Amino acid sequence: MPPLSVQEGLLVKQAVSRLLNNEPIQYVIGSTTFCGNTFCVNPSVLIPRPETEQLVDMATDIADLPEHVSIMDACTGSGCIAISIKKKRPDWEVYACDISAEALQTARENAKANGAEVHFTHTDVLSDKLLTGPFDIMVSNPPYVMDKEKSSMEPHVLKREPHLALFVTDDEPLIFYRALAQWGQRSLSSEGWMLAEINPLLSQETKALFEAQQYRDCTIINDNYEKERFIRCRK
């Protein structure tokens, strides 16, 4: 193996310095894999987690769907969920939204790099200005980590990943699920599906929220680590 050039040596030193400063290796490299696809990541977006791939499978494995399917990915971040769904179901009409303009720029770049046509919109899920669909499926991995959980988090997550995409206040930990439930009641098609990643510490409270919003067949689904990670229900 030939020796490193001066420039290459400097790049290695910079990378090591960033890692020692608790910067996630995915940010240092600039990319990660999700559902077999490569996604650019940077501090404006969360790093996709392997367990979230199950949410993609939950959506694409639904059997009783109309011929032309429309799906919304709320709080899309890097776009990994929406883009992976489009790659698996190229005939579906896929929409995605996020409050962060920087995240949406990254998502658009990822869609282009992966050859996936996704309709992105700059949208605050907590606002009243939301697309009305109708959507056959709504999927989301919204912020759900409570402030009181920060003390148990790894430094590379707490100090480096975007808090806007991670945290909710302790007094309103289900604020995004309430907004999603209300949006879905207005915008899901008849018997449309709502799928979301959830906080395992609040799984039963999340289920009760959707049931109170008149959703049916509400089911908590475990991830591969046997944590209550997802909810699936129908309008």
In a domain, 213, yes or no: yes
Residue 141 tokens, joined: 């991995």
Contact 81, 110 (CB under 8 A): no
Task: Give pLDDT, residue 197.
Answer: 98
In a domain, 1, yes or no: no
Give the total number of structural domains in the chain: 1
The residues, ordered by sequence, that sit 6+ positions from 33 with a Cβ below 8 Å of its Cβ are 39
- Per-residue model confidence as pLDDT tens digits over 31-63: 999 999 999 999 999 999 999 999 999 999 999
The torsion of the CA quartet 154, 54, 229, 50, rounded to 10 degrees, works out to: -10
Helix (H) or strand (E) holding 32: strand 31-34
Instruction: Give whole-number Cα distances, 214 to 209, 231, 232, in Å.
Output: 9, 15, 13
Contact 229, 200 (CB under 8 A): yes
Contact 79, 109 (CB under 8 A): no
For residue 122, what are the domain limits?
6-234
Q: What does the mean pLDDT of the chain come to?
A: 92
Task: Give pLDDT, residue 20.
Answer: 61
CATH of the domain at 213: 3.40.50.150
Task: Give pLDDT, residue 157.
Answer: 84
Low-confidence ranges of the chain (pLDDT < 50): 8-9, 12
